Amino acid sequence: MVLFDDFYTSSMDTFSFVKYLFELLEYKDKLNFRLINLASSEVCNKAVFIEKIAKVFGFKLNNFELGSIHSIKESRRAKSLGLDVTKAENFLKKPTPTTYKVINTIYKK
């Protein structure tokens, strides 16, 4: 398995996403159908994300290597899918979950 250390994302579990989405819907009149990113408050590369999942779930990471998204020659994709969640956090008056909280929610559910 190749863990990309140069591909970033703001991963969020479905349970937290729905919870925060319904909280945001309470502000629908103020939101005025603006574009709002809803994701983890942290941007994390895929390698670190998998390492954190393994730690929380008690798995050993075997048979993996660090790699680059650019190693996939046919791939034409951005190196970062990290999202700025400032607008959502400002409406909610609280931060969206961190990567660690997202992984813990996945573990508990």
Residue 63 is predicted with a pLDDT of 86
Q: Select from 90, 88, 93, 91 the least CA-distant residue to 12.
A: 88
Residue 66: what residue type?
L
- pLDDT tens digit string along 28-87? 777 776 788 999 999 999 999 999 999 999 999 888 899 988 888 777 777 788 889 999
Q: Which residues contact 6 (CB under 8 A, 6 or more apart)?
A: 45, 68, 69, 70, 79
Residue 36 is predicted with a pLDDT of 87
- pLDDT tens digit string along 74-101? 777 777 888 899 999 999 999 999 999 9
The 3-class secondary structure across 2-62, one letter per residue, is EEECCCEECCCCHHHHHHHHHHHHCCHHHHCCCCCCCCCCCCEEHHHHHHHHHHHHCCCCC
